Amino acid sequence: MKDKNVVIIGGNSGIGLKVSEMLEAKGANVFLFSKTASGESKLDVTEDFETISGLPTVIDGFVYCPGTINLKPFHRFSLSDFRNDYEINVLGAVKTLKACMPGLKKSSSGSVVLFSTVAVKVGLGFHSSISSAKGAVEGLAKSLAAEWAPNGIRVNVVSPSLTDTPLAATLLGNEDKKEASNKRHPLGRYGQPADIASATVYLLSDEASWMTGQNLHVDGGMSSIK
pLDDT confidence band for 71 (50 / 70 / 90): very high
Indicate the DSSP class of residue 88.
I
CA–CA separation, 85 vs 171, rounded Å?
A: 18
Q: Is a pLDDT exceeding 90 seen at residue 226?
A: no
Average pLDDT over residues 202-226: 96
Average pLDDT over residues 77-92: 98
* Domain limits, the chain: 5-218
The reported pTM is 0.95
Give the pLDDT confidence score for residue 40 in this predicted structure: 86
Q: Which among 40, 33, 28, 129 has a CA at the least distance from the CA of 76? A: 129
Q: Which among 190, 112, 119, 186 has a CA at the least distance from the CA of 154? A: 112
More confident residue, 35 or 11: 35
Handedness of CA 167, 169, 171, 175 (dihedral sign): positive
Average pLDDT over residues 142-157: 98
How many residues are present in the chain?
226
H helices within 26-127, ranges in order? Answer: 79-86, 92-105, 118-122
Collapsing DSSP to helix, strand or coil, 63 comes out as strand
Give the pLDDT confidence score for residue 152 in this predicted structure: 97
CA–CA separation, 219 vs 176, rounded Å?
A: 20
CA–CA separation, 170 vs 22, rounded Å?
A: 26
Q: Is a pLDDT exceeding 90 seen at residue 217?
A: yes
Average pLDDT over residues 89-111: 97
Give the pLDDT confidence score for residue 6 in this predicted structure: 98
Average pLDDT over residues 6-23: 94
CA–CA separation, 98 vs 109, rounded Å?
A: 18
Q: Decide if 30 contacts 12 (C-beta within 8 A).
A: no
Report pLDDT digits (tens) over 172-192.
989 999 999 999 999 999 999
Q: Decide if 203 contacts 113 (C-beta within 8 A).
A: yes
Give the pLDDT confidence score for residue 39 in this predicted structure: 86
Handedness of CA 220, 221, 223, 226 (dihedral sign): negative
- Which pairing describes strands 111-115 and 61-64: parallel, antiparallel, or unpaired? parallel
CATH topology for the 5-218 domain: Rossmann fold (3.40.50)
Which amino acid, one-letter code, is at 176? D
Average pLDDT over residues 87-106: 98
pLDDT confidence band for 198 (50 / 70 / 90): very high
pLDDT confidence band for 167 (50 / 70 / 90): confident
Question: Taking all residues of the chain, what is their mean pLDDT, rounded to a whole number?
Answer: 96
